[in-house]
Structure 1
């Protein structure tokens, strides 16, 4: 029991900005329970969702969307976004695989990384704002709309973390490092544990609000996005590293929010039967 609690503590220290001291022992215990990625996503989603609920009640949609993004990165940090930036530099570099990997590992931010991060932040803002707009059409009260926003934050953060597990579970490391440790630790049983937990929470989150399997569809979409990103990484770099895993988090979050927006739009257009 003590080792499990140590793993839980270390998982928050590794995947969030919550001030938790991580020891080497704790890091090893966490890697033995890599499925905790999804659990951390659930808890972070609850925290972010709570703030999003309050913002929905107090602020106009555009200001609320900006504040939600601020809260997301306050609690999750910028490590994963940095991974997206590094991968963007590598993908836009010309030349051999070795040159692309070198560009990805370069500590300087290139135009590719800057562009990828800019697109990601704009996409995140647009998807949150779009969910708010679509929710307004089908919600009879501000509290009901706030609950939908709350559930969306929970599902998107779980999807982001499961995307990281997915790309690690099916990827092969291109070099030693933190990414390689994560990849080697993500065995099929551990991956499946996170998958089952995440799927159940995502189903319940929107089913209780009368949206059927909307949450599950968004969850699956984040997983698919990770597999697509893995294919891109394999073609350009011959494998996967920690930057690719971090990028999967950012892309998985956005994809799940986009899918949630589309599903909510379908409901507001009278297509509820498609979710039963």
Structure 2
């Protein structure tokens, strides 16, 4: 149970004491389940009165449950993405002052998920909140696989943890979000697959830019994937038919 406590202690603001246990990665899906449950509960409680408010509370609650740590990761990485001189990347990532690049990237990611969720029908919105949370945490861990740490810190510590059981963790973080998506209509399944493809491209681009991974880049990846999944569900759910055949036919017709 020490790994379980450690996962909640590190990834949430819950007053749970726990050390940084080496096996805490394995328990991260429980954190995803908790975050998703809170986000969905707030959405269900409020959406009858205001879809906008329900979407705002749902997305914001997950950010707050995570202690806004990933907001800091997004803004730091956003600032670093604007830097052309690679010798300055480490300094920018370690500088916690928010620049224009960080502010823009955060607003883009946050507003993309908020607006997309508020424009999605309630059942599909609930499905996307749940799936996005599991996929967000999963890709945040998957990017650690076979990655080089940029420098010593939380990111390098998690890379070392991941190396203890790399194939087991990779299987866990691929299978769980896919299994969750299978509960829901075909649009959610397809959105999960498309978002995973987006993650693969994003991972390559981030490695090309930075030459390695740290905690901020991992957090940025998870939050970006969350927004892309919610946006993709919104786009796919605009179809009146949610069967896999109809959705794939529409995509093929656009090619």
Q: Counterpart of 1:19 in 2: which secondary structure? A: coil
Pick from 92, 99, 103: which aligns with 1:114? 103
Q: TM-score, with normalisation over the residues of structure 1?
A: 0.81
Whole-Å separation in 1 of the counterparts to 2:155 and 2:2: 21
Give the equivalent residue in structure 1 for 2:253.
Answer: none
Whole-Å separation in 1 of the counterparts to 2:8 and 2:139: 17
CA-to-aligned-CA distance 1:184-205 (integer Å, 9 cap, x gap)? 322122121232222212211x
The correspondence of residues 4-153 of structure 1 with structure 2, limited to 5 A, is 5-24=1-20, 27-30=21-24, 34-57=25-48, 59-95=49-85, 97-131=86-120, 135=121, 145=122, 147-153=123-129
Whole-Å separation in 2 of the counterparts to 1:196 and 1:64: 29
Pick from 134, 137, 147: which aligns with 1:158? 134
Q: Which runs of 4+ in 1 moved over 4 A?
A: none
Q: TM-score, with normalisation over the residues of structure 2?
A: 0.87
CA-to-aligned-CA distance 1:120-178 (integer Å, 9 cap, x gap)? 121121111121xxx2xxxxxxxxx3x43322211110111111022112422111111
Size of the aligned set, in residue pairs, is 244
Give the equivalent residue in structure 2 for 1:138.
Answer: none
Pick from 212, 225, 237: which aligns with 1:239? 212
Whole-Å separation in 2 of the counterparts to 1:199 and 1:218: 10
Q: 1:41 to 1:271 in 2, by over 3 A?
A: closer
Q: Counterpart of 1:265 in 2: which secondary structure? A: coil
Relative contact order, CA 8 A, sep 6+: which one is greater? 1
Whole-Å separation in 2 of the counterparts to 1:167 and 1:111: 26
Pick from 147, 150, 170: which aligns with 1:191? 170
Whole-Å separation in 2 of the counterparts to 1:237 and 1:149: 34
Q: Counterpart of 2:145 in 1: which secondary structure? A: helix
Structure 1 unaligned residues grouped into runs of 5+: 136-144
Alpha-carbon shift at residue 108 of structure 1 (Å): 1.6
